[in-house]
């Protein structure tokens, strides 16, 4: 298994809330949600703590269900950081775990995994967040499409969106994410594929995946990129956001520049 990881902060590197961890079992990719209202600890601190415990749990045995490992990590991060529901940061969780005869793919939240054999591509994604708080989501997008850009009112609209999302967080009929509720992990989406049916995979946070899907990039080709290739790819995305769509007119998105992380995996 050959893994390549590349990341680019959307803004200040101190606020870079994506986290990719490469371990003997595979890859963990987390995307901490930006906080548009105050939370108890920073999203960066949360993803680092969650990632630490998740990697430790998955490293113990490949017989541990991925969802159990995620639940354990949420519980331990909650205890260590003394988090309170509703005042805590949250994070997506995506895991690729290689076992002797199978590859486990798991997503909780909107950090997709693309995978396949040769040029055939499949996607494992969790679209439940996009289905909640639709009026608030469309409000900020409509403002961007109308040309208002990333002004102060845009941040107010995003705070309203997060409040609406929070009401649907980790409840039936809403969406599920890593925050303070360990049982949320049971609602992640898991696919296990035979090792002989997969020879590549790409895990990507939405700061990268949305543009790559919009530009119709072939994920099977991205999977073969070297680290310099991935670095150039992320710079291409950042430059497009800066030079061609600085106000979100073409691609309505929450931030002009989001954190971007891509992890590619190739199986021999």
Over residues 111-120, mean pLDDT: 96
pLDDT at 63 over 90: yes
DSSP of the chain = -EEEEEEE-SS-GGG--EEEEEETTEEEEEEEPP-SS--SS-HHHHHHHHHHHHHHHHHH-TTS-HHHHHHHHHHHHHHHHT--TTSS--EEEEEEEE-SSEEEEEEESS--EEEEETTEEEEE---TGGGSSHHHHHHHHHHHHTT--S-HHHHHHHHHHHHHHHHTBTSTTSB--BSS-GGGGGGSEEEEEEGGG-SEEEEE-HHHHHHHHHTT--HHHHTT--HHHHHHHHHHHHHHHHHT-TTSSSS--SSSS--EEEEEEE--
pLDDT number for residue 233: 98
Q: Report the mean per-residue pLDDT for the chain.
A: 97
- In which residue are the tokens 């108890």 written? 40
Distance CA 113, CA 128 (A): 15
pLDDT of residue 226 exceeding 90: yes
Tokens, residue 248: 């979100």
CATH architecture of 2-130+169-240+256-266: 4-Layer Sandwich (3.60)
127-163 pLDDT per residue, tens: 999 999 999 999 999 999 999 999 999 999 999 999 9
Residue 192 to residues 84, 94, 120, 124, 254: CA-CA distances in angstroms?
Answer: 33, 13, 17, 11, 33
| Per-residue pLDDT at 37 exceeds 90 | no
Q: Where are the domains of the chain?
A: 2-130+169-240+256-266
pLDDT at 36: 85
Whole-model pTM?
A: 0.96
């Amino acid at each position: 298994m050959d893994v390549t990881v590349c990341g680019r902060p959307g803004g200040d590197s101190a606020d870079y809330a994506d986290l990719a961890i490469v371990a003997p079992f595979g890859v963990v990719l987390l995307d901490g949600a930006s906080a548009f209202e105050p939370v108890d600890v920073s999203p960066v601190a949360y993803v680092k703590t969650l990632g630490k415990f998740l990697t430790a749990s998955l490293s113990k045995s490949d017989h541990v269900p991925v969802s159990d490992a995620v639940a354990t990590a949420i519980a331990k991060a909650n205890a260590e950081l003394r988090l309170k529901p509703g005042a805590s940061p949250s994070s997506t969780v995506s895991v690729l775990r290689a076992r002797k005869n199978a590859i486990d793919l798991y997503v909780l939240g909107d950090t997709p995994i693309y995978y396949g054999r040769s040029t055939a591509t499949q996607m494992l994604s969790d679209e439940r967040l996009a289905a909640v708080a639709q009026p608030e989501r469309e409000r900020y997008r409509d403002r961007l499409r109308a040309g208002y850009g990333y002004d102060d009112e845009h941040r107010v609209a995003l705070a309203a969106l997060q409040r609406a999302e929070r009401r649907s967080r980790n409840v039936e009929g809403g969406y599920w994410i890593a925050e303070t509720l360990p049982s949320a992990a049971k609602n992640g989406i898991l696919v296990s594929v035979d090792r002989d049916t997969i020879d590549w995979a790409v895990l990507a946070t939405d700061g990268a995946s949305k543009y790559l899907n919009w530009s119709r990039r072939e994920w099977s080709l991205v999977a073969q990129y070297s680290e310099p290739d991935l670095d150039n790819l992320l710079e291409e995305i950042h430059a497009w956001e800066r030079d061609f769509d600085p106000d979100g007119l073409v691609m309505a998105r929450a931030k002009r520049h989001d954190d971007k992380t891509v992890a590619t995996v190739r199986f021999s």
